[in-house]
Amino acid sequence: MTKAEIQAEIEELRNKLEYNSYRYYVLDDPEIDDYEYDMMFARLKELEAQYPEFDSPTSPTKRVGGAALDRFEKVTHRVPLKSLRDVFSREELCAFLDDMRAFDSDAEFVLEYKIDGLSVSLEYENGIFVRGATRGDGIVGEDVTENLKTVKSIPLKLTEPVNIIVRGEVYMPKSSFRKLNDEQEISGGKLFANPRNAAAGSLRLLDSKTVATRRLDIFIFNLQYIEGKKFETHTETFDYMKKLGFVVSRDYLVFRDSDELYKAIIERGDRRDELDFDIDGAVIKLNSLSLRERVGELTSIPKWAVAYKYPPEVKPTVVKDIVIQVGRTGALTPTAELEPVRLAGTTVSRATLHNSDFISERDIRIGDTVSVRKAGEIIPEIISVDKSKRPADSVKFEFPEFCPSCGERVYRDQDEAVIRCTNSSCPAQLVRVLTHFASRDAMNIDGMGPAVIELLTQADMVHGIADLYSLDSEKLAALPGLGEKSAEKLQKSLGNSKKLCLSRLLYGLGIHHIGQKAAAILAKKFKTLDELMQADCERLTEADDIGEVCADSIISFFKSEHNQETVARLMAVGVNTSYIDTQTGEKFAGMTFVLTGTLPTLGRKEASELIERNGGKVSGSVSKKTSIVLAGDNAGSKLEKARECGVKVIDEAEFMNMLSE
């Protein structure tokens, strides 16, 4: 390669690493896996070492991590939260061990799990937890104290009144991750790719009450700072931190012998599937704290520690068949049935194929030999096809035109690769559909939660949403845990739900792309469900904020014979299908509001309802047509744009004054 080609490769690697670091650390939405990132990073370090003339102070190799988000107050770490140098082979590990033994031939090394989570610092004053922050870029992080208080394994008061800062890794146990994704599926929410993303996303939520439901956990792995105490070894700090009430790195071991250390690293990698937390490697540190000081640190990494990274295990197998699974949101997901293969400690016989585009882009066929790995150590996926081994009788997969669960015709959204079933009574979607229909923001059927719905479906008492209004009181009372009073309350709530506005019903039907706001716009525009069902694309798009994608989704939904039958049955039992005008005043007539941030006392939904009841409109984005931006704490880019556009900005107190005038 010429010098120009080498320089071009270095610049390309830097750009790719910066982009993917931003996706991983800031957005929590990575596009590549850790191993691919690590390989690019290792290649860049190699080239920079060979060609120092192309060195740059802005290279990703000089950085610690990502940037702090603006949603939380920024915190400057008293002690920088540095990253670790990665090693990928026994040779690289032994080179590190030999370097350390050059300082002390009898050096001890501590072996710990490298937890795949989110690094944080915890600060205590006189033994009281006062601040918790994410790593951010290692120098400045985000203040997530209130969210960290919801992590039950973090002590709020220590056993001694010490001033101390510790560093730990917040993670989501695999069991909690599976439960969270199950709940997300039932509610129609976004599924998380892996526990690390789930933990990072949860810790950055603005609502600490929601964070508390995510069942996060933590391991403390370093004593960053302590006032008035000295320790000789890293393991002594672990003993002391355990005494204070911290949960420290689990199952850490101490070694002098290199062979025994390497053997333990590999054994831990082989058994990682047995753990209830994700690891992506092992951490090896000098035990002696005084020796660490002699060895020293670089700007972004300590010299006295490394992370041994495990490569993802990949194995070949054969695609026996491709079948379609219908998810609870109506998405048709193709799944490959495989010749069983042992992978990451478990037997894998199925792998997700994501969607039709995934299959066609990789030309995956029944009979193909494919390479399989576990994505995020959880979900098996096919990463490549060995076409040299393709048999002559391999079968190209064709996506079905009809739902395999209910037989209804399926459709594909214009803006995504997902193919969906639109039948609201589809058996595969039943629990999710019923739960959404009965939810507080839809038909508000008090007492009809997921547990009761599971009982109803298991007892074969409901096959669609219309069946809810024909439930027998005696059979309801006989269900486990209900009884006569609960059954009576439920029937009363069902009766009340019949009187709600058309907008509630439209939202409750679960039409793809139609949320609460769109449902309210459609109800106000068309007045009756009959009118809406007869509207074509042109009429639908005349409504504010209803584009072609939403219009196509509405038309596809009401084309379904099953959905037409459901609507007819709802009408027959007396469910209201007309718009009810809840506007009580004209104070905000002709005005468009945008809400941003967290208001002191009003929820976003409550504030929106107050605006609409007084003749105003609520929009999701700021433009020159915006009349007022109602801003609360942690207001973001919308507030900045309002100032740029010269839009009036008010707080909750001023908003309430406007209402009372």
Active site residues: 114
CA distance 116 to 34: 10
Strands 395-396 and 365-366: antiparallel
Please state the length of the chain. Answer: 661
Q: What are phi and psi of 215, to 5 degrees?
A: 55, 50
On the CB side of 89, CA atoms within 13 Å amount to: 5
The amino acid present at 231, given as its one-letter code, is F
H/E stretch holding 339: strand 332-343
CA distance 304 to 102: 12
The amino acid present at 581, given as its one-letter code, is D
Burial group, residue 216, by CB count within 10 angstroms (0-12, 13-18, 19+): buried
Q: What are phi and psi of 490, to 5 degrees?
A: -65, -40
Q: How far is CA 429 from CA 185, 334, 352, 378, 405, in A?
A: 10, 16, 19, 24, 9
Token pair in block for residue 336: 């490959």
SS (H, E, C) 129-171: EEEEEECCCCCEEEECHHHHCCCCCCCCECCCCCCEEEEEEEE
Q: Is there a contact between 459 and 465 (Cβ–Cβ < 8 Å)?
A: no
Q: Which residues contact 5 (CB under 8 A, 6 or more apart)?
A: none
Burial group, residue 353, by CB count within 10 angstroms (0-12, 13-18, 19+): buried
Number of Cβ atoms within 10 Å of the Cβ of 528? 14
CA distance 208 to 202: 9
Q: What are phi and psi of 74, to 5 degrees?
A: -85, 145
Q: Is there a contact between 528 and 502 (Cβ–Cβ < 8 Å)?
A: yes
Place of tokens 């042992």: 342
Q: What are phi and psi of 286, to 5 degrees?
A: -65, 140
Burial group, residue 493, by CB count within 10 angstroms (0-12, 13-18, 19+): middle
Q: Is there a contact between 305 and 82 (Cβ–Cβ < 8 Å)?
A: no
Instruction: Name 412's bridge partners.
Output: 419
Place of tokens 């694309």: 537
Q: How far is CA 408 from CA 41, 269, 404, 642, in A?
A: 49, 46, 8, 46
The amino acid present at 388, given as its one-letter code, is S
Helix and strand element counts for the chain (H, E) = 24, 24
CA distance 653 to 630: 10
Q: Rounded to the nearest 10 degrees, how much is the dihedral formed by the CA atoms of 337, 343, 347, 349?
A: 0
Q: Is there a contact between 643 and 615 (Cβ–Cβ < 8 Å)?
A: no
Burial group, residue 629, by CB count within 10 angstroms (0-12, 13-18, 19+): buried
